[in-house]
Amino acid sequence: MSLNNLENHKSHIEKYGFAVINNVFSHKELEEINHVLSHIDTSKENFRKSDDLFAIRQFLKEVPEIRNLVFNENIRKIIKELFGENYFAVKSIYFDKPETSNWYVAYHQDLTISVDKKLELANFGPWTTKQNQFAVQPPLNILENIYTIRIHLDDTDEDNGALKVIPQSHAKGIYRPETIDWTVETEVICNVEKGGIMIMKPLTLHGSNRTTNGKKRRVIHIEFSDIELPEVLQWSERMNG
């Protein structure tokens, strides 16, 4: 990985809302991650399994032995230099989009955070609850502060569901997908090599197409913030790297 030009990646994220950095994980590190993933007990309730998608919510909590493998030296350096000294993980999901997947994701922003309880708080809402997990749309400044790292365990391009994004959409607040003006906006496909990462601001409009090349796509999605939530509300997955 070229750790020398992290400043370039940082400015690219600030301007466009995303960046791709390849060669973040070595072949050996990927093998170790794959070994852990292949020995997971998939029967837990936080695991979602269908023909189109296998997903593990609260991934770093559910599979604690993965943590040291995910937070390798390169990832720690990226978090510190691109995000800031005080950033910590607040949400994690593992996605496995199988070879035969017809899973299609329309353009959207990631507008919710995972928290430990539901309570009445000014400027927090609407709320959703799934399997006793609470998600809420927080004030805009909290969303604007988050960075997402997507670790790619397989080569990913437009034929097996690479993310497509709308550059600079992260700087436009809440941006409803149905209002996208394609005479103004452009679409970029974010191809990522196996062992590479994509960094994204959650307000960047993003989506993905169905897989057409018969290749699977596995991604570890981790969100980071350095903001403490108000009053008695806590990030449900808060974890200091």
CA 167, CA 183: separation in Å to the nearest integer?
14
CA 166, CA 182: separation in Å to the nearest integer?
10
Residue range 173-210, pLDDT digits in tens? 999 999 999 999 999 999 999 999 999 999 999 999 88
87 in any annotated domain? yes
63 in any annotated domain? yes
Residue 194 structural domain:
3-225
Q: Are strands 206-208 and 163-165 parallel, antiparallel or unpaired?
A: antiparallel
Confidence (pLDDT) at 39: 87
Confidence (pLDDT) at 97: 79
* Average pLDDT over every residue of 124-134: 90
CB atoms within 10 A of CB 171: 15
CA 236, CA 225: separation in Å to the nearest integer?
13
| Element holding 157 (H helix, E strand) | none
* Residue 239 pLDDT class (50, 70, 90 cuts): confident
94 in any annotated domain? yes
98 in any annotated domain? yes
* Residue 211 pLDDT class (50, 70, 90 cuts): confident
Q: Give the sign of the dihedral formed by CA 43, CA 35, CA 132, CA 137.
A: negative
Contact 84, 147 (CB under 8 A): no
How far is CA 75 from its chain centroid? 14
Return the higher-pLDDT residue of 241 and 235.
235
Residues β-bridged to residue 128: 135
Phi, psi of 237 (to 5 degrees): -120, 20
195 in any annotated domain? yes
The pTM of this model reads 0.94
| DSSP character string of 153-198 | SS-B-TTBT-EEE-TTGGGSSS--GGG--TTT---EE--B-TT-EE
234 in any annotated domain? no
Question: Mean pLDDT for the chain?
Answer: 91
The amino acid occupying position 101 is S
231 in any annotated domain? no
Q: What is the number of domains present in the chain?
A: 1
Find the CATH number of the domain harbouring 168.
2.60.120.620
Residue range 134-157, pLDDT digits in tens? 999 999 999 999 999 999 999 999
Confidence (pLDDT) at 98: 72
73 in any annotated domain? yes
Contact 150, 18 (CB under 8 A): no
Residue (of 202, 200, 205, 147) closest to 176 by Cα position: 205
Q: Tell me the residue length of the chain.
A: 241
